[in-house]
Amino acid sequence: MDIYSLLDKNDQVELKIFNELMKKNMKHQATEIRKRLNLSRGRFSERIESLIARLKATFPDVSLNKTEDDLIALLLPLSFNVSDLYYCYLKEAVNYKILTHLYQDGKLDIF
């Protein structure tokens, strides 16, 4: 099962942005990422701000910064594990909660 299918659209976009930042040297032009992911400026801006907030709240050692010259820089500590970030998103996803509940209880009561 694809992890993205369990996430809502905003979370999918944030993880895709993060994956783009993980490529190469972790410093990218925001415009390039936005175009590669086919996002409007407004949507990209919303999602990058949300990603920055989530990283600060969950992983204080991680630094994601937007500069005035349209650069986005991601700095990760050596101990950072990407699967922890994915799990952070998954545990909040409704579809994942439903699947987990079904797996643990074997049934789902609607009422």
Residue 111 domain-assigned (yes or no)? no
Structural domains of the chain, count: 1
Q: Residue 6 has what pLDDT?
A: 86
Does 43 map to a domain? yes
The answer to the question of residue 78 being in a domain is yes
Q: The domain that contains 92 carries what CATH number? A: 1.10.10.10
Q: Which amino acid is at 36?
A: R
Q: For residues 17 and 37, what is the distance between their CA atoms, to the nearest angstrom?
A: 8
Please report how many Cα atoms fall inside a 13 Å half-sphere around the Cα of residue 54, on the Cβ side: 18
Q: How far apart are CA 99 and CA 63, in angstroms?
A: 32
Q: Which domain holds residue 63?
A: 3-105
Axis crossing angle, helix 9-22 with helix 82-90, rounded to the nearest 10:
170
Reading the chain (111 residues) residue by residue, the pLDDT tens digits are 678 888 899 999 999 999 999 887 777 899 999 999 999 999 999 999 999 999 999 999 999 998 888 899 999 999 999 999 999 999 888 776 777 777 777 766 665
**Residue 36 forms part of a structural domain:** yes
pTM of the full predicted structure? 0.84
Residue 110 lies in a domain: no
